[in-house]
Structures are given as C-alpha cells and as structure tokens.
Structure 1
C-alpha cells in the first residue's frame, strides 16, 4: 500500500462460525485513516463497529472467526496475512487499544503501577527505575490527580473516569501511531465524557497519533472527529467529513441516528396528593480504622434530603457518579438503612417491620440500570416476569401466565418469546422485559435507576416513549435517577440536582433546564447539550 494512509481496510468480510452455522457480520467494509487524523466509526449495537476495530489487530476469537475476504493494510503490511510475530510487534507498540469498560479491562488483583509496568516490560523491555519513572510520566500525561499516590491504587479504588485514564495511559505507554478507542466514554457521566474526549484530543495534538473512535453517539463524536463512517448491519452506509455528515446527512439511517435524542414533554398532569414524602433522609456509611475498627468518620452518601413526589408525576434526580442518587432511591424504598421519615401512600415506612412492609413491596418496584445483569440467565422470560406473582401468591398458574402475556404486550414484546432466555434478546428488549417484570404487580411507584444508560440512543428514545405511555395509561409515579439530562428532560416534572449527598438545586424541570442557577447544574447542562458551534 503506497497511498500515504496509515491504515487502509478494503472490502473486508468477516464471518462467525458457530456449530456449523455461518453468519456474515462484516460485508465489504472499506475505510482509511490518515496519519494524525480522527476517524469516528458510528452505529448502533450490532452494526459491526467493534468487530471492525478488533479485526485490525486480529483480536477476534480464532476458533469462531473467519476473514472471508478483503485486506487490512497497516503501512505496507497486510495484517490479515501477517504472521503472529509481526502482529505482536504492532499490537501495543504501533497500534494500541482502549476498551469500553475499564473495570473489566483492568486486572482487579494488580495495582495501577504493576499493570502499566507489565505493558512496558512486554513491549519495550523496560524495567527497574526507568520503567517506574515512565509510569509516573504516563499518569501525569493523562492528568491523573496526585499520580504518585495512585501508583499503589487498585481499580476498585478509582472512579470510572480515573480508570479510563489508566487504560489510556497503558495504551499510550509505547507511543503508538494509531489509538483505537472502542466506546471509551459509554459508561461515564456526561461531564466525565467531555473530559475524556478533551484529553484524547489534547494527547493527539501532543503525540501526533491517529485515532479510530468507535461510538454509537453521533452527537458525541462531533467534538473530536475529522471524518465519520456510519455503519449499519455490517456495512458502511455513509462516510464524509464531520461537518458534512452532521449538517447534511444523506442516508436515512444517519438521519435516524442524529434524530435519536429522546424528545417530547413529560406526561400532562393535574395537581395530586403526595405518593411519597421524604424528610431529613440520611444515609451515612461509617469509616472504621485501627485494630478495634472504631468509627472515625462517616461517608455522608445522603445527607438530609427532603422531597414530595405527587401521584402520577416524575421526580428526576440527576448528578454524577458518587453524588448519592442511587443511594437516595434505594433508601426511599427501604432497601438501605437510613434515618429520617419516609411516607408512602399514607404509611410511615420507617415504623414498619419487614413483615409489615412486605405487602407494600407490590406497590413499589424497580427497573435497574443494567438489564442483562438484573435478569437471571437461568430463568425464562415467563419465569422472570411472573416471579413477583409467585412470591406474593397472586392468582392461579393459568392467571399468572395470562398476566405475563398481558405484561409483554404492554411493553411491545411478542408473548411467543416468553419461553426464551435473556441472552436471546437485545439490550432494548431486555430492558422492556425488566419493565414488564415491574408492571405485572400493578405498582403505583417505580424507581427507575439509570434505565437507559446502557442502551443506544435510538433504543433510549423508544424506552422513554414507552415509559411515558405507561405513565399516562396507569397514572404511575416515577422516581427517575439518571446522569443523562436529555432523558430526564423528556420525562421529569420536577428535578433535583445532587452533589456530594446533598441537593444543590431543585425546581420545576422545565424552568431548571431553561434557567439553571447553580454552577454545577450549568456544568451538567453544558456537557449534556453541547451545541455544534461549541464542539469544535
């Protein structure tokens, strides 16, 4: 290859072979990356983005992957035909990769220093004092606060943003010419997303490297990409400059991605009595030290929160990771020990024993953030959705099955799929199953804990529309926890902004979005609704 491109993929076809069944996952994919530029590969889950990225370094499972046609040239070397010795010289050295979920990509048993040292020893033969000095330089390069103190930290002791910075430091350890960033901000808060993208852009300027950025969010990549390739069903359906794709998209799929931001207004409501009222709620976790494990301090996860949630309305609780949102939600449903008053449907929950509380559990349900993690892989969909009916001894087996069918129809799923298992469904379908599980007990209040953060934008919009329809139909009350303000805006009547366990601002959602008073609220809004002009 003598075109001057750093990486050139031509007519790449990739097939997965499983028990004799052949599935083509990439079909004649072609793209090129020039030295020093950023190419964004954008599309929904299952479009083939990550398969394309992993194919560059041949990281897909050898036993089930077949490169049926095409070429991947890095310089003059076709990586599909290169022996393992050549690939090992390129992996980590000239082409490095940052993965989507840093918590699972980092070794939980090794501290930060050991993990970066391993990269330096493996690829550059660097050990001893020079290697330790290089680790410190790398942590400083990615703006880890107090890098010397972080050397001995383990992944679980770092925030999501810090873990992603460590992953970037490991990727940059050998000074690569190309950095492949596979959804590097998906699991992060909006403000941390901005910080990581700015960091990548700054590092690119300093080091002169090219970036292949994988994302499902077209609005996010506008901040960093020079060119964009849009993928659908294993094919590239549109490509062009960032400006051309975002301002004049030609393909209907690209237009759908750009219009996928959750929109619309919260359900119209009339004044109503309080469904839930919380006063002076506190959740303090003790910090114990010394041989006798005496309590020396407290982590004030929730520190004196008050709110009133009227029947049929949505209270949105927003803030970054660690702000106390989820702890507040779980404490309000008496799933965490707390101090203060919690009144629900006229009952003071803190005065009830677990046995007295149990009948009320039917009326309070939860939909969790990760639809895959919250559904048992060993149970069929019918068993998962109907479990609450069995626990509360509601109806005969025939009535329970009829209720499962009704619940599936309500969330837009085919009842014929009820004998299948969670792994056979997409992320959006799994979240619909989780919503059906909550609905089947006919609750009056549902706690929605980041119910859309693990989903593509187009699927997020569908789930938000579904939640709005169900609220209007059943007069449901939502306690909606999220760091995604676009989703919160589409659902919430009232908004509370949390930071460090306290409410820094609250009010009518519509007013708060148009006229935020607190600097932290403005920071969240700026990060969530970045204007095209501000992006570059």
Structure 2
C-alpha cells in the first residue's frame, strides 16, 4: 500500500520512499523471508509521521533499511528513494541509504543503555562525532559545542554531565543525550525509534515535547516509530499502520483513529488498556488476610565526598491483601526500585519492617529464603532475567529445583502445567528463550514466578517492553490468573493506563515518600497531590473519537 502525501504548506516532502523490499535468507533451503514488502511512505517538510504496529510487523527493519543498517545477509531493494536537503533545494535520488546517516537523517535509537558506551564519558561520545562531521577539532572546542548541545535539549548542569558515564544519568537524561547526539550532523529529518518506551509518563511527556520544540526551532521533520498508538495519536500529523511488513492503513491521524478501515487497525485500538473488562471493586475476605505489609520503611545511600546522604525511601508503609493488586507509580528517581528491593529482601532497610502474614521478617538467610519462596518477582525484561542456556521447561521448574521441591519428573509435570496456565503450547518446553517472542518470554517468566505457589508476585514494569496487542493479552492473562489463584500483585509501572485498568489501589511516590494513596479510580479522578496531577496530565491523550475535538481529548486524563 502506498502512503499519499497530505496537503501541507510545502508540497514537496523531505523524504520519499517507494517500493521498499527487505528479505532474509532462510536457514534451511533456498527460500527467503520477506520482512518488508513493497512499502512506500513520504515525510512532509516540518511534519511528524508516525509508524505503528506490533512486534514483528517490520518497523525496526524499516528504520534500519532507511539508514543502511540492515545485516549483511539482508537483501534490500527499493524502486526509488528521494531526499531534499533544504527548503529551496530539489529532491535528489539516493542510491545508497548510508549516505543519509547523520547529516541528512539523525537517528534517536530506542534503548539509550545499549546505544551509549557504558565505559565512555558523555564528553567522549560527542568528541567522536565532532571529529567525524567537522574534521580536525580540539577537545576544548568539542567541549564547548557539547555543553551548548546538551543545554539546547534541556540537560541541566551540562558542563557537569560531560564527565559522567551513562549509568550516572537518569533514563530521561540519557534520552536527551541521544537526541543531542542525533542533532550533531544538523540533519533535516529525525528518525525516532521507540524513543519513550521505557520512560515514565512525565519524562515521556517532556521528551516528546522536546521533539516538538526541536522540530519547530530547526525546521526539522520527524519520523516516529512506536508501538504506542496513544503516543502516535497525540503527536503525529499522519499515521501509518504496519502489519507483516506492509502498510495496511495510512492517512491523517484523526481520520485513521476515528474511522479505521483495516481490521488490524481496529484491533490495535481495541487493545488499549482502557478496553480491558472493568475490575469489580476489591473486597478482602473476612477476616481480611494481609499477605504482605511494610511499616515505616526507610533506606538511605551515602552521597559523594561533599554530598549529604540520599534518602531513597522514607517512612513508607503499605498493605497487600490476598487477591489484591496494589500499584506503585512515580517519576524516575521517586524510589520505586529501592522500595521493591526492600520488599523482596534484596536490600535491608535502615528502619522499618516487612511482614509476611503478620510475621515480621528477621535478618538472616532463613528469613530471606522464606521470603524468596512466598514472594516472586517478574522483571521488566524477561530476555535478561531468564537463563538463555536452559530449555523453557527447565527455566520454569528452576525455582522448584532451587528449593528442593519434588522429583525431576514431578517438576517437569509442574512446568508443563504452568505453561498451560499461561496459555503456551507444551512443545515450547524444549525450546531455548532465544527462540521465543517477547510476549512468550514474559509468559514464561510469569509461569516461573508461579511455580512455588507464592502469595505475592511483584510485577516490575511487566509489559512496558511489549507492543500494544501483546500487552493487552498479557494483562488479561494476569487478571485471570489472579482470579483463579488468589495471588496478590504488587505492580510497578510507568504506564498509568495499565495501572488504571488492573490495580485496586495505587500509591504515588515522590522523592522517596508516599504523597497520595487510595482506591485507583478515586486517585485518578480526584487527585489531591500536585505530583499525582502532574503524572496524570502527562499521560498521552486517548485516541480521538468522532464526538470530541483534539483539544477536548488533550485535557481528558486517560
């Protein structure tokens, strides 16, 4: 399907791609797998075009093909690729996409942790690019340019950041560094590949605002690749929907979202968290069984030689009943991760207690072992939390083996049962994690967490790395498992749409403290803390409906 250019102030697009095909040779045989099939698109000068679709739809292949970054084994063909370097320039035909890197098209990749060298200071990342684009340049001149570039994208104390390593920056600051790096070559087009998928709501809003500001100030165009249709709906002028390597629907964003023609686009809209079945009001059993409780948890960390200690968690208390979901939300640096470590025994509080079934946990190995058996953790990225050398069946049974539960045969049977519970076929038990999709891997991680029949499962951003349709299916599965097993969920998520859909109670953290708590719907509809209101205001507006204007949508949280 060909994307036609909408009427804009400048009729000539900055980028026009016609008939892109990308294929990979099959492992066995002479055939080829086509990842992108006859794809055409245009990006108007000064406009924002968003490409949305599920994992495996071909979005990343499109990004790589546009910059000549596909693997050597890939075969890339296109009928025509044109790029216009300036407002008064004529479009030129590009035969090798590698020509576009840096000076024509700046890439903002998805994961700043992988994209920035962890052993290299921020200053050195810029120095290498300055030498590439400017030729001979001394470090003092590069340093001056870097400070100005970081300040231009809103990095606070830019001179200090030069000497820092990537791990010393927050997620939002790392993403700003990537944007500044993408602008070094003064490109005409920014290509942003899932630039906010791992950021909390307020940082996501600030980064997206920054893209708009940079685009307006420099007269740039933006090609935004995302699985979040809410982000695309709020930010893009035009929307392209990809499936199986093809564009199945395209047009002005409002038109696509209010009158979707393709069944796949309709399914994407139906998989928004708000479309999950409404949760009944949580009513604890009588007498109520509190499976996990924290009272007055406080944890501080030493500062630098001249800095005062940093209090990451301060006087935090919470209770979790059997069958209840309690969510913890807050900006990056609010203390959510430290709180999770305290609740799961991975860190020891300076003050306060953690209790299971009313029994405070004592320091020492026996208490940690008891906690590990009854409180299980599902991490954000299952690919890094599962052993790649073990078959899936062994991975699921690993907690049983570690706690000496059952025989090898009974553990294998239990693993098969758990895979059925998370709706995975039995034959996956023999595969390695590297052979599974992201959604399948997260289901394996959930099955593994349920192996010991815990009272509590801690869900640390369990769906943030997944595309929208897979996320919807996984949330439905978690809800069904909870209803069947009665397990309590402690959920940490930066996606407030997910929180509203699945949580019974929500705790809002800010600088280590709980600043607001209560039933989820009450907190979301009548927030009392300014920090809660800021989080809600930062949520991407819902997709427009025929009965609302864009302005009305933007002011309606969730």
Fold match (TM-score > 0.5): yes
**Deviation for aligned residue 1:280:** 0.9
1:15 aligned residue: 23
Find 1:342's aligned residue among 354, 358, 364.
Answer: 354
- Tell me the distance in 2 between the aligned counterparts of 1:38 and 1:492: 34
Normalized against structure 1, the TM-score is what? 0.93
- Tell me the distance in 1 between the aligned counterparts of 2:367 and 2:245: 54
Please tell me whether the aligned partners of residues 267 and 472 of structure 1 are also in contact (alpha carbons under 8 angstroms).
no
Find 2:365's aligned residue among 332, 342, 354.
Answer: 354
- Tell me the distance in 2 between the aligned counterparts of 1:115 and 1:361: 41
SS in 2 for 1:369: coil
Matched, 1:511 2:522: yes
Q: Which moved more, 1:495-504 or 1:218-227?
A: 218-227
Please tell me whether the aligned partners of residues 293 and 358 of structure 2 are also in contact (alpha carbons under 8 angstroms).
no
Please tell me whether the aligned partners of residues 22 and 36 of structure 2 are also in contact (alpha carbons under 8 angstroms).
yes
SS in 2 for 1:297: coil
- Tell me the distance in 2 between the aligned counterparts of 1:126 and 1:173: 15
Deviation digits for residues 315-340 of structure 1 (CA, Å, limit 9, x no counterpart): 11111222111221221222211131
RMSD (CA atoms):
1.9
User: What are structure 1's unaligned runs of at least 5 residues?
Assistant: 291-295
Please tell me whether the aligned partners of residues 267 and 491 of structure 1 are also in contact (alpha carbons under 8 angstroms).
no
How many pairs does the alignment contain?
522
1:137 aligned residue: 148
Matched, 1:182 2:190: no
**Deviation for aligned residue 1:178:** 1.2
**Deviation for aligned residue 1:493:** 1.3
Matched, 1:391 2:407: no
**Deviation for aligned residue 1:358:** 2.1
- Tell me the distance in 1 between the aligned counterparts of 2:161 and 2:502: 40
- Tell me the distance in 2 between the aligned counterparts of 1:110 and 1:405: 45
Find 2:315's aligned residue among 283, 304, 307.
Answer: 304
Please tell me whether the aligned partners of residues 67 and 98 of structure 2 are also in contact (alpha carbons under 8 angstroms).
no
| Cα distance change, pair 277–403 in 1 and its aligned pair in 2 (3 A) | same
Find 1:266's aligned residue among 268, 276, 279.
Answer: 279
SS in 1 for 2:79: strand
Matched, 1:58 2:74: no
- Tell me the distance in 2 between the aligned counterparts of 1:223 and 1:146: 30
Matched, 1:219 2:227: no
Deviation digits for residues 99-121 of structure 1 (CA, Å, limit 9, x no counterpart): 00112111222222221222122
Normalized against structure 2, the TM-score is what? 0.89
1:246 aligned residue: 257
- Tell me the distance in 1 between the aligned counterparts of 2:415 and 2:246: 38
Q: How does 1:281-292 map to 2 (within 5 A)?
A: 281-287=297-303, 289=305
**Deviation for aligned residue 1:200:** 0.8
Matched, 1:122 2:169: no
1:279 aligned residue: 295
Q: Which moved more, 1:472-481 or 1:144-153?
A: 144-153
Please tell me whether the aligned partners of residues 527 and 533 of structure 2 are also in contact (alpha carbons under 8 angstroms).
yes
1:293 aligned residue: none
1:36 aligned residue: 46
- Tell me the distance in 1 between the aligned counterparts of 2:369 and 2:341: 15
- Tell me the distance in 2 between the aligned counterparts of 1:214 and 1:356: 46
**Deviation for aligned residue 1:286:** 2.3
| Cα distance change, pair 220–403 in 1 and its aligned pair in 2 (3 A) | same
SS in 1 for 2:76: strand
| Cα distance change, pair 267–431 in 1 and its aligned pair in 2 (3 A) | farther
